[in-house]
Amino acid sequence: MDDHINHHLTNLTFGYHPENGLGFAMNASEAAEMGFWAIHVDSMIWSIGLGLLFILSFRYAAKRVTAGVPGGWQNFVEWIMDFVDTNVRGSFKHKNDLIAPLALTIFIWIFLLNLMDLVPVDLIPHLAYLLGIPYFKIVPTTDINVTIGLALGVFILIIYYSLKIKGPVGFVKELTGAPFQTSITPLKPLTWVANFVLEVVDLLAKPASLALRLFGNLYAAEMIFILIGMMYSAGLMFGLAGGVLHVGWAIFHILVVPLQAFIFMVLTIVYLDMAHSEDH
């Protein structure tokens, strides 16, 4: 059982091994020994592939847009764009033409990444194994590296707009001016330091919350799918129970997939709105 679970939770890793040199890891130990600079190839393939699917499918709708009676795909794309635009208008109070496209990209891309969790858990990894590929995870958002990468992209924008809108001096004042304040001059440096520590923790908590919330929910969901899938091989009674549980969990997870994408999008909009606010 442990081997089965570990296999499903191990990424196809490419990197430099101290003994074997540059290549793919054949087991989890080799992947760990490759260190920080190793690449999870399966996560990269699915992330880039689903990103291209989003770009090409929406470009297809844009190229065939019509003022007359729209087709089904155009209707769907317009509905998604209206949905995202409504959320941006409701949460972002400033003028920035980047925010709406960014929110749309985040929502659709993460939705597609999460959606892979509804593919039967053994199907594609087993096909990859038959082709000689030892590991092949298909849900990028169960890889903490992917969710941290997404969150760091948002974090960089938060820092960029904080500096651009407020200026370096204004940004430093924001980090040192609250919540503690005093009129006693000798104590002011102490309040600045205390405020700076608290505000930096709050600032770093933004990408951490984005990354860990998305990763935790999808990783836990994948674990449940794996455990339910293992019931199929435990006899007829457990197989039938596993089938019922699998369908029930999949139906529930249909709600989780868009919800996590929506939460990531909304928090991104809110955090960037805070970065644009000079009085924050």
Residues serving a catalytic function are 209, 213, 217
Per-residue b or e along 94-126, where b marks 16 or more CB atoms closer than 10 Å to that residue's CB: eeeeebbebbbbbbbbbbbbbbbbeeebbebbe
Chain length of the chain: 280
Q: What string of DSSP letters covers 20-48?
A: TEEEE-SSHHHHHHT-TT-EEHHHHHHHH
Q: What string of DSSP letters covers 56-106?
A: HHHHHHHHT--SSS--HHHHHHHHHHHHHHHHHHHH--S--TTHHHHHHHH
Which residue(s) pair with 21 in the sheet? 17
Longest dimension (CA), the chain: 77
Contact (Cβ atoms closer than 8 angstroms) between residue 147 and residue 211? yes
The one-letter amino acid at 248:
G
Question: What is the distance between the alpha carbons of residues 104 and 255, in angstroms, rounded to a whole number?
Answer: 19
The one-letter amino acid at 222:
E
Interacting residues of 249 by C-beta distance below 8 A, sequence separation 6+: 221, 224, 225, 228
Q: In this structure, what token pair is assigned to residue 280? A: 């924050």
